[in-house]
Structure 1
């Protein structure tokens, strides 16, 4: 295979591995949420909202402080993403020649170089938008979770729990965009590092996203205990 043809083969293959893993993860979250960390955290946040809103006047400070920490984390990621996007834009606009480094093994044309930086820029912009959307949901929850009139109203509590989980899901999407930026950045040095990074990152994320038997047993035990308390 010629050097200029590597990008047309290894880059789509690497992205297919990364996207295919996340499609499998999405399917697992929908069908078997307790087998994934995201699914278990979603159920845990749902129970957390019910516990706090059982007495919002007493637990209001705890709820606001916890949500504030999440807002700060989302703000940090959003600021980092938009800053990196600005730096990439300035670099591309001031770039006058195509890369000629011997470290790059692949297509070295100016058009391909522009596509690489545009992909990284688009990735960080998506991370910024997802984190801003996450801040939006967290801000709504910080008001809704402390409303005394919602005490005992299951429909209102369910609405707050859904908004909290949506904020967390957008935060996870923003974080995944940062993960994707690593192989896209390595693509600047050639398609081979990009493909290897996609494979290794998908392998590492599998162990970070899936739960162990101990975690599932602990979670199912807590759900059973909660059901017993509600029955009493």
Structure 2
């Protein structure tokens, strides 16, 4: 076993500088992206799709004939999140099983995980497992939001109910529009955390591959997250007017109260 694995090589200081720097770049990029989504949503794919999902919920609420289509769409999204969550937890369990086989068995019969390996290698394995578990938790949150969303989006106001009940059902549509965007946010976080496992994985071989893979990921994200206003089909002022109109409580209520005799 080499001195680097045993943690006796002072070159581990390079890992302590490069690895946190890659994580910092990854976090800073997404903080800047969140700032753009908040200030100029029409220039990002996330901002445009958030608006599209909100309009989709309002459209479903205005015509309950599309309720079946809505449930099928949510079911497809639920299945995709379930598959990705299964992949994440399977990879984490597989790595832990591999770690168990590489570990030594003590005299009392218990397994000492990664005994004989340096603390740096242990930290790399821990970071890799953390990425998979974090992605798994994010996809669990997606499934939780989607299951709740099916009840909100298919709620129909009875014809003989009073106005107070109909107003409460109308408020459920606003909650559903917010909930579907929260599910999408958790889905995005889960994917980004899962993809960050690739730089962590190559870190096991050499630390210099980690910044290369991190920069490649950020370059791909930059191409995927950017959107021109012309292609998005809206200007900044038009988008701001739409958001302002959607924030009003009176927007969806007439759609749901239209059936009132």
Given the two structures, how large is their TM-score scaled by the length of structure 1? 0.84
Q: Distance between the aligned counterparts of 1:17 and 1:165, measured in 2? A: 25
Say yes or no: does 1:143 pair with 2:151.
yes
Aligned counterpart, 2:101: 94
Contact 1:55 1:151 in 2 (8 A): no
Q: Distance between the aligned counterparts of 1:35 and 1:151, measured in 2? A: 37
Say yes or no: does 1:60 pair with 2:76.
no
Partner-residue secondary structure (3-state), 1:190? coil
Shift in CA distance, 41/117, structure 1 to aligned 2, threshold 3 Å:
same
How many pairs does the alignment contain? 215
Deviation at 1:80, TM superposition (A): 0.4
Aligned counterpart, 1:172: 188
Q: Distance between the aligned counterparts of 1:219 and 1:135, measured in 2? A: 34
Deviation at 1:220, TM superposition (A): 7.1
Deviation at 1:215, TM superposition (A): 2.4
Q: Distance between the aligned counterparts of 2:183 and 2:193, measured in 1? A: 15
Q: Which string of whole-angstrom CA distances, capped at 9 and with x for unpartnered residues, describes residues 6-62 of structure 1?
A: 212211221111111011111111222111111111111000000011122x01111
Q: Distance between the aligned counterparts of 1:159 and 1:113, measured in 2? A: 46
Q: Distance between the aligned counterparts of 1:9 and 1:146, measured in 2? A: 52
Q: Which string of whole-angstrom CA distances, capped at 9 and with x for unpartnered residues, describes residues 186-228 of structure 1?
A: 1111110001111121122111111123323358799689x8x
Say yes or no: does 1:133 pair with 2:141.
yes
- As a proportion of its length, which structure holds more helix? 1
Contact 1:183 1:193 in 2 (8 A): yes
Say yes or no: does 1:114 pair with 2:109.
no
Given the two structures, how large is their TM-score scaled by the length of structure 2? 0.75
Q: Distance between the aligned counterparts of 2:92 and 2:80, measured in 1? A: 18
Unmatched segments (≥5 aa) in structure 1: 98-108
Q: Distance between the aligned counterparts of 1:147 and 1:213, measured in 2? A: 35
Contact 2:42 2:229 in 1 (8 A): no
Contact 2:229 2:235 in 1 (8 A): no
Aligned counterpart, 2:26: 18
Say yes or no: does 1:77 pair with 2:93.
no
User: RMSD of aligned C-alpha atoms?
Assistant: 2.5
Partner-residue secondary structure (3-state), 1:116? helix
